[in-house]
Structure 1
């Protein structure tokens, strides 16, 4: 990289899914030059489980909420450490970040806050009907992130 030139910022969003880890590996294998010359962020957003929000049965006990949040934090940290290790094995240094909240919103907010120039996401391959009912993080980010978005889908022949 030339002196005086600022590094581009690239973010890979990961979760527990195989598709997000495939996207990370794909990016490291196929965008090696871009990524090695960039500041790489590995991002994880842990949604608050819906059963912990207040319902018609009342709010859940505070100790249950605390336990679930602590477990989510452990899962997120383990995911991020594994991703950081994968990056290091490819000779790439990465920064990790985690948030709690709706992944769609958290990813787009992080992109804007960090001034990310390329967002990389995995695609879980949901069909149109599933996306309509369940929503799609990648679809939301393609339409709302303030940077180019690369959605990586694992080919069916690699399953």
Structure 2
């Protein structure tokens, strides 16, 4: 397993991240890979709760699929994975014989995704794209754009299907 690729997918359990996850499983993941879901929760979460206070700076430990499929475990981290994400990774783990884990960070998604690349470390990252218009993107900033320009590994941005006409 030492030679296994570490493939990251940024997930926020939105339709955009589910598309990015499915695309990665269909097009990139190979037998023996490690698939690391990276999720970033907003700063405003109450750090007194559960495991969060222990991990707010460095992120959570790598949480195996069996645990992040358990709502009681994930509640301690303030994360609620959607059933579709769990189905996609459970099926991929069985069919492709891969290891699936999740890593949770708290803070700014742009910075924390780049941090994950260096600290996990990741060989590759896929991010979804919400397809914000130019004005919203200028005001809010684009997570995918920031990550593409600052990442130390290859990054693929999967555009939301609605915008692929």
TM bucket (normalised to shorter chain) is 0.7 to 0.9
For structure 2, which runs of at least 5 residues remain unmatched after alignment?
54-73
Partner residue of 2:148?
142
Within 2, Cα distance between the matches of 1:23 and 1:99?
19
Within 2, Cα distance between the matches of 1:18 and 1:10?
20
More helix by share: 1
Could you list the runs of 4 or more consecutive aligned residues of structure 1 that deviate by over 4 angstroms after TM superposition?
64-67
CA deviation vs aligned residue, 1:124-146 (integer Å, no higher than 9, x gap): 01122211101111111001111
1:28 and 2:25 correspond: yes
* Per-residue deviation, 1:30: 2.2
TM-score where L is the length of structure 1:
0.73
Indicate how the Cα distance of structure 1 residues 14 and 22 shifts in structure 2: closer, same or farther if over 3 A, else same.
same
* Per-residue deviation, 1:84: 4.2
| Secondary structure of 1:77's aligned partner | coil
Q: Could you tell me whether the CA contact under 8 Å between 1:84 and 1:94 is conserved in 2?
A: no
Q: Could you tell me whether the CA contact under 8 Å between 1:45 and 1:101 is conserved in 2?
A: yes
| Secondary structure of 1:78's aligned partner | coil
Q: Could you tell me whether the CA contact under 8 Å between 2:13 and 2:82 is conserved in 1?
A: no
TM-score where L is the length of structure 2:
0.70
Indicate how the Cα distance of structure 1 residues 158 and 140 shifts in structure 2: closer, same or farther if over 3 A, else same.
closer
CA deviation vs aligned residue, 1:32-54 (integer Å, no higher than 9, x gap): 43xx33211011100123xx8xx
Indicate how the Cα distance of structure 1 residues 84 and 96 shifts in structure 2: closer, same or farther if over 3 A, else same.
farther
**Which of 1 and 2 has greater Rg?**
1
- Which of these residues, 129, 143, 147, is aligned with residue 123 of structure 1? 129
Within 2, Cα distance between the matches of 1:12 and 1:158?
21
Superposed CA RMSD: 3.0
Within 2, Cα distance between the matches of 1:28 and 1:158?
20
For structure 1, which runs of at least 5 residues remain unmatched after alignment?
53-63
